[in-house]
Structures are given as C-alpha cells and as structure tokens.
C-alpha cells in the first residue's frame, strides 16, 4: 500500500500571524487538493491539524498526486507575499500497514510521516521502496539523498527528492531562467516635477546601480538600459521577462517645504509582489549627504534582503546547487549567532564546498561561521576555529583577491588573534573595495578598543549604524559600543548601549554578561544577577576563567581595562571557574 503524509511548513508561524485567516485559507486549499486525491484514486485516512494521511492502491498514483498537489499550490501561492505562503511538505512510502477500523498504522505509515518531516517546503520526499516502483513510470527527475536516519525508525531509509516535471506543460511550469540576485534599478520618479531636484533623483538611481553591483554575485542592469524607462509606466512582470531579472527596485522623491522624502520598493519581477519598502526623510539643505546615506543604507539592507529572499527560493529547490546552498547558509548566519543557526549555516556551506571545493562564497561563509562561534561562545577549540577560518579565507583571497568580505573576514581573524594593526589594515582594504561595508567600520572600532583606544570606538560604531541602521549585526556593534563605554568608566552609557544590543537580539549570550558587569558596578545587583542567568541559559559553560584565558588582545592598556570587567562579572555572580 502507498502511504502519503503531508503537512503545512511553518503552520504555527502562519497561525501566529493570522489564526482565522490561516485556517480559512487552509480549508480553501484543501477543497482543491482533496479533489486531486480523489482524481488519483486516493483515500483520506485522517487529518491531524494542518496535516493529512492518505493511502493509495498504487504508488504511481500517489507520487503523481503529490506532484499535482505541489504544482497547484505553487500556482495558488503566486502573488502571495513570501512570508504568507502556505507550502506543503509531502512524504511518500510503499510499505506494509495495519488496518484498524478506518485508520492505518505500522512502520509503513511511520516512515511516510518521517519522510514528510525532512521534505523541503513545497517539496516531495519518497522512500527507496516507492522509488523503485515509479522511477521509469513518472516523468520527473529524482535526487538520491542517500540513507537517512529517521526518528523512531530502527533502520536507515534510502530517500529520494522528487524534482521537476520533464514536460513542464503536464503539471508545472519551469522556474524563471533569470540569474539569481538579478535586479534593475528603475529611474526614481520625481514627484512634483521640481527641475532643481532632477539631478538628485538621477544621482540616487545611478549611485545605487553602482553600489548594488558590488554585492557578491549580483547581476545589475546597466544604468543606460534602465534610464530608457525613465518617466514611463512599467509592468514589472513584463519588464522582468524582457530584461531577464528577478527583482525590480523602484522609488520616488517628493519635496515638501524644506524637506525631501524618498520612498523605495523592492518588487519580485516574477510575481509582481512587493518584498520590502523603506522611507527616508531629510532636510533639503542636506541634499548630497542625503543621497550618500540613502544609497549606503539601501545597498546594505538590500544585500541582506536579497539573500533572505533567495534563500527562501532555494529551500523549495529539489536540486540545490552551490549558489542555492550558499544563500541558505548566509541567511542562517544573518539570523543571529545561536549554535543552531551557526551549525546549520556551516552545513550548507560545507555541502557547497563538497560540490565545488573552490567556491568563494562557501569558503568565506565557513570562515565567518568559525569566527562567529569563536567570538560568541569562547569554546575550548577557539584558536583552532580562528586557524580554520584564516585558512578558508586565505584560500578565498588567493582565488578572488578583490573580494571585500574576504578581506573583512581576514581582518576579523587578525583582530581577535592579537594582530590588531594587520586586522585594521584588512578592514580598511575591504572598505576601499566596498565603501558601504558597514561591518568593516564597526570592527575597526572593536580593534581600537583592543589596543587601548576605546575612546575612538564609538565613532566607528556610529558610522556603521549610519550606513546600515537595521543591520543583522546591529546587536554585536551596540554590544561593543557598550563594552567600550564600560571599560572607560561610563557605566550609564554602557548600560544604554548593552540594553539596546539585547533589544535587537536577546539570544546573544555575551551581551547578557557584559550588561551584568555594568549593572553590578552601579549597584543594581538584582538586575545584574538576572542578566547573568539569561547569559548562562544561552551559554552554560561561560565562566570568568574561560573569558579571561581567551582575551583577544594582550595589549597592556586593554588588559588593565579588563580588570574592571572581571570584577563586575564576579560581583554579578558569574561562575569563577
């Protein structure tokens, strides 16, 4: 008997966004998918919240039904914002079952349920027993995922991912051929037609086109082509097909009195849906500064936004290539320095390197993960992590000597292994290659703290925040701003910085400990001890001894300043040993 298990990926998150609407939409989808089950000779055994269990007399019918369901769902999700799409995961198994009334039980059912759990959102995963029956009978591609150890299943199960339909007209259309990270920046609209600001409007468009081209892997339509659309009404779907791009960035500039307002939207050219929007407002007298700020902020924000969107696309791919895997790794790294995110991110980068050992983004990605682990959790293998990161990034630079993030990553390794002057030089080189690399500014500030020049740290952090005020690393920068203030004796300022860090990300353990030290030094012992508990919940192995032994700098001025930090940690109740 063929068994099919299906559920909705991320259903709890969707319910949290809109419980009533999500339940209604699921019912509407099921009207369509239930009809497909009947059409393919299947039977609904039971529903389990957002999931269903089905049985089919033929595994060919089961797989064809699963493909049809995913094709219909892809069509129904067109035009729905990425974060609101309802996507099924489906597992198919051929095996023995036990019949109990209308229900079915047994290993055959359990395996199908576990296969559904490892399927990609929008994807299908089948067992080897099912594969042997359908391999020459269903016109699809299959990817061998190898033997998988499934929860509560005694033996490993060889599994296969079901790919695209060979004849796209049968069930589903092939995906767009547009390059990943491909984008056109349309000339911004000059609302009101003020001729005095026309040069400003065109300057923003031109500068943004240049700066987006610096994003690694980006394909940006040249400004000469983009400007042929100036002043014209544009259908973004048709434009995307004509220029073969995935994304369209459009915006407008409006003057009101002595102020200028700039609105910007990022649009998915395949669906026409808006993915992101931002507004900027400044005094008209600061026209040129405003242009630089807008371009810098947009370039930084779009880098993270495009990576996140492309990672979500890659999640639906049955055949991820190295670029897909790197997007997924980068997106996880950007989510925050938790053991899960860093571990999962590294696995994606390692898979990319297995496919292409010289992949630059994967080499840089693994280096950033190792640096993230070493600087966040102070592990016993901290030095080995830095050594591995340096090897990865050195190889990347041997293949791509002008890669700005690779220079930044090498600078990070050097800064945190007591080669601060070299690290600052690498970060400065990164900024020559990419003037908007906010992380490089922030880490120059960190470096100066490590050589006893903490009075200069805040200016560098503020510059990073100016360039990228909503950066995924904001919580790290503000934490170091707080540490610099604390080491200089500005406790109230330090507490403000550190609380800002935790507001941005409560899952960064070292910020909890630094805040505890600052609170302890101003006599707020209850709050300090609570902050220690928050940090230990995230990093139970943290201790003053471990922290002291892993000082990133041996500079006498920095070591002298740290004594006050150790004292604050001790007063707050951080374990000594």
SS3 of 225-247: the string is HHHHHCCCCCCHHHHHHHHCCCE
Tens of each residue's pLDDT in the chain, 577 residues: 789 999 998 888 888 888 888 888 898 888 888 888 888 888 898 888 888 999 888 898 899 899 888 888 887 887 777 778 899 999 999 877 676 666 777 778 888 988 988 888 888 999 999 998 888 777 777 888 888 887 778 788 889 888 744 333 333 333 455 777 888 999 988 888 777 778 778 888 888 888 888 777 778 888 777 888 888 888 888 888 878 888 999 988 887 777 778 888 889 888 888 888 888 777 766 666 667 777 787 778 778 888 888 888 788 776 788 888 999 999 999 988 888 899 999 999 999 999 999 999 999 999 999 999 999 887 888 899 999 999 999 999 999 999 999 999 999 999 999 999 999 999 999 999 988 899 999 999 999 999 999 999 999 999 999 888 888 899 999 999 999 999 999 999 999 999 999 999 999 999 999 999 999 999 999 999 999 999 999 999 999 999 998 889 999 989 998 999 999 999 999 999 7
- Separation CA 318–CA 143 (nearest Å): 7
DSSP 448: H
- 460-470 burial: b if 16+ Cβ within 10 Å, else e: bbebbbebbee
Tell me the pTM: 0.63
Cα dist. 85→76, 314, 318 in Å? Answer: 9, 15, 18
Positive or negative: CA dihedral 510, 513, 518, 521 = negative
For tokens 């059409």, the residue is 39
Which residues are CB-neighbours of 187 under 8 A, at least 6 positions away? Answer: 201, 202, 205, 226, 227, 229, 230, 231
How far is Cα 561 from Cα 245, in angstroms, rounded to an integer? Answer: 53
At what angle are helices 525-538 and 509-521 packed, to 10 degrees?
Answer: 160
CA dist 551 and 374 (Å) reads 11
Q: Which of 432, 434, 431 is nearest to 445 (CA)?
A: 431
Residue 455 CB neighbours (<10 A): 12
Residue 69 CB neighbours (<10 A) = 24
Q: Does residue 374 contact residue 368 with C-beta atoms inside 8 Å?
A: no
Instruction: Report the alpha-carbon distance of residue 21 to residue 18 in Å, rounded.
Output: 5
Closest Cα to residue 439, out of 407, 402, 392? Answer: 407
Residue 538, Cβ density class (10 Å: 0-12 exposed, 13-18 middle, ≥19 buried): buried
Report the sign of the C-alpha dihedral through residues 329, 434, 269, 248, in that order: positive
CB 55, CB 1: distance < 8 Å:
yes
Q: Any bridge partners for residue 46, and if so which?
A: 53
CB 371 within 8 A of CB 412: yes
In angstroms, the Cα distances linking 514 to 76, 335, 520, 569 are 49, 21, 10, 8
Q: Which residues contact 352 (CB under 8 A, 6 or more apart)?
A: 322, 325, 326, 329, 359, 361, 362, 365
- What is the spatial distance between Cα 473 and Cα 418, in angstroms, rounded to a whole number? 22
Taken in order of first residue, the domains within the chain and their CATH numbers are 2-165 (3.30.70.1230), 182-312 (3.40.50.10610)
Closest CA to 304 of 420, 473, 423: 473
CB 464 within 8 A of CB 442: yes
532 within 8 A of 555, measured Cβ to Cβ: no
Query: What angle separates helix 438-450 from helix 474-487, to the nearest 10 degrees?
Result: 20
């Amino acid at each position: 008997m063929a068994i099919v298990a299906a559920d909705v990926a991320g259903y709890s998150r969707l319910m949290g966004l809109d419980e009533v609407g999500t339940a209604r939409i699921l019912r509407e989808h099921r009207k369509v998918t239930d009809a497909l089950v009947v059409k393919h000779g299947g039977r609904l055994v039971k529903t389990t919240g957002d999931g269903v269990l089905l049985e089919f007399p033929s595994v060919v019918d089961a797989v064809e039904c699963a493909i049809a369901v995913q094709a219909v769902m892809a069509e129904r999700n067109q035009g729905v914002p990425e974060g609101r799409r309802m996507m099924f995961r489906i597992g198919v198994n051929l095996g023995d079952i036990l019949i109990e009334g209308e229900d079915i039980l047994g290993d055959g059912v359990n395996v199908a349920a576990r296969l559904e759990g490892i399927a990609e959102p929008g994807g299908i995963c089948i067992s080897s027993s099912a594969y042997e029956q359908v391999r020459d009978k269903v016109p699809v591609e299959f990817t061998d995922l190898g033997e998988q150890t499934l929860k509560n299943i005694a033996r490993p199960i060889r599994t296969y991912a079901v790919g695209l339909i060979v004849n796209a007209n049968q069930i589903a259309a092939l995906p767009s051929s547009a390059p990943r990270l491909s984008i056109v920046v349309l000339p911004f609209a000059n609302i009101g037609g003020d001729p005095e600001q026309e040069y400003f409007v065109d300057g923003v468009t031109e500068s943004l086109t240049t700066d987006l081209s610096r994003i690694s892997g980006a394909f940006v339509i040249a400004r000469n082509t983009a400007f042929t659309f100036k002043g014209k009404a544009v259908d973004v779907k048709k434009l995307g097909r004509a220029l073969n791009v995935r994304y369209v960035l459009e915006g407008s500039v409006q003057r009101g009195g002595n102020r200028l307002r700039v609105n910007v939207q990022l649009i998915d050219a395949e669906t026409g849906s808006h993915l992101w929007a931002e507004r900027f407002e400044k005094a008209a007298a600061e026209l040129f500064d405003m242009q630089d700020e807008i371009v810098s902020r947009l370039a930084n924000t779009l880098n993270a936004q495009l990576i996140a969107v492309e990672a979500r696309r890659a999640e639906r791919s049955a055949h991820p290539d190295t670029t897909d895997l790197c997007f997924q790794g980068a997106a996880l790294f950007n989510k925050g320095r938790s053991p899960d995110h860093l571990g999962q991110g590294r696995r994606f980068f390692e898979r990319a390197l297995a496919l292409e050992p010289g992949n630059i983004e994967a080499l840089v990605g693994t280096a950033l993960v190792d640096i993230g682990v070493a600087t966040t959790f102070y592990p016993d293998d901290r030095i080995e992590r830095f050594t591995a990161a340096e090897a990865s990034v050195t190889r990347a630079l041997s293949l791509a000597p002008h890669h700005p993030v690779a220079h930044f990553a090498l600078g990070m390794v050097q800064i945190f292994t007591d080669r601060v002057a070299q690290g600052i030089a690498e970060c400065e080189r990164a900024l020559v290659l990419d003037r908007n690399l906010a992380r490089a500014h922030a880490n120059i500030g960190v470096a100066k703290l490590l050589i006893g020049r903490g009075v200069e740290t805040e200016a560098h952090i503020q510059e990073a925040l100016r360039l990228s005020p909503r950066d995924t690393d904001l919580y790290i920068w503000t934490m170091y701003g707080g540490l610099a203030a604390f080491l200089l004796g500005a406790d109230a300022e330090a507490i403000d910085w550190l609380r800002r860090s935790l507001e941005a990300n409560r899952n960064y353990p070292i910020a909890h400990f630094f805040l505890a030290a600052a609170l302890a030094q101003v006599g707020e012992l209850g709050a300090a001890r609570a902050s220690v508990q928050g940090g230990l919940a995230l990093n139970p192995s943290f201790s003053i001894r471990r922290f002291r032994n892993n000082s990133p700098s041996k500079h006498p001025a920095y070591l002298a300043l740290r004594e006050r930090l150790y004292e604050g940690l001790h007063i707050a109740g951080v374990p000594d040993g």
